[in-house]
Amino acid sequence: MRIDVVSIFPEYLAALELSLIGKARQDGLLQLDVHDLRDFTTDKHRTVDDTPYGGGAGMVMKPEPWAQALESVLPADESRRPVLIVPSPAGEVFTQAAAHELAEEEHLVFACGRYEGIDERVLDWAQERFTVRPMSLGDYVLNGGEVAVLAMVEAIGRLVPGVVGNPESLVEESHSDGLLEYPVYTKPSQWRDKEVPEVLLSGNHAKIARFRRDEQLLRTLRRRPDLIARLDPGTLDKADKAL
């Protein structure tokens, strides 16, 4: 997978050199390039923003540097349409399902806005060359798209085949089946005044599976009742319903 990120703070993205994603880049599984938007300006102050038409607080990102930057990452073959992800609190919510979808793409481009956002005409222009997807991490406001890109690239990148060493670890994790993950424990079995649930020491695999499933359901019910409401009833077994 190829990923391009355009930002006025390329240093923010340095964290993508670390850990699993950094290793995937070294191994050639991810080809990730970060571009400085100011390199696509032509004035001596390298201006990327201006005041908003219609008035209002803050500044808006000028369209031309964005068009130049986005053109520079377009593939020579015009029949290939990269997905352009525009991080914004006004986007559709980025979920695990969206991460799975985007992990199938050949080429992702992230356009990190700052200030009050990017001139809307850039998105109209980009729609002729990219599949444009404004995406939000959730219902709160960040100062710019960079931190959101760190989160999205990590969530997407770990789903690219080969990036996570043991693909089984992708199966039993939060959101993989619409539920939150069950609690986990390690040695020692007695720690301070706390004990590991006895069933986990029993060696009874059926009982352990049932205990974990019940913990998933209870935890999801308490912390994220909205997820229970969205569950496909077909995924619930008899014991789930009894609980």
- Determine how β-strand 194-195 pairs with β-strand 190-191: antiparallel
With respect to ligand 6GU, which residue has the nearer C-beta, 10 or 87? 87
With respect to ligand 6GU, which residue has the nearer C-beta, 144 or 197? 144
Q: What is the 3-state secondary structure (H, E, C) of 142-156?
A: CCCCHHHHHHHHHHH
> Residue 29, SS3?
coil
CB atoms within 10 A of CB 224: 16
3-state helix, strand, coil in the chain (%, to 5): 40, 20, 40
With respect to ligand 6GU, which residue has the nearer C-beta, 25 or 146? 146
Closest approach, Cβ 148 to ligand 6GU, in A, equals: 3
* DSSP 8-state class, residue 118: B
With respect to ligand 6GU, which residue has the nearer C-beta, 40 or 94? 94
Q: Cα dist. 164→16, 22, 152 in Å? A: 15, 12, 16
Closest approach, Cβ 60 to ligand 6GU, in A, equals: 14
Q: Cα dist. 199→207, 208, 215 in Å? A: 7, 6, 12
With respect to ligand 6GU, which residue has the nearer C-beta, 109 or 179? 109
With respect to ligand 6GU, which residue has the nearer C-beta, 76 or 141? 141
* Angle separating helix axes 146-157 and 19-26, nearest 10 degrees: 70
Give the burial string for 90-106 (b: 16+ CB within 10 Å, else e).
ebeebeeebbeebbebe
Q: Which residues bind ligand 6GU (CB under 6 A)?
A: 87-89, 135-138, 140-142, 144-145, 148
With respect to ligand 6GU, which residue has the nearer C-beta, 82 or 145? 145
Closest approach, Cβ 87 to ligand 6GU, in A, equals: 3
Closest approach, Cβ 26 to ligand 6GU, in A, equals: 27
> Residue 121, SS3?
helix
Closest approach, Cβ 85 to ligand 6GU, in A, equals: 9
Closest approach, Cβ 5 to ligand 6GU, in A, equals: 13
For tokens 């690219």, name the residue: 160
Closest approach, Cβ 88 to ligand 6GU, in A, equals: 5
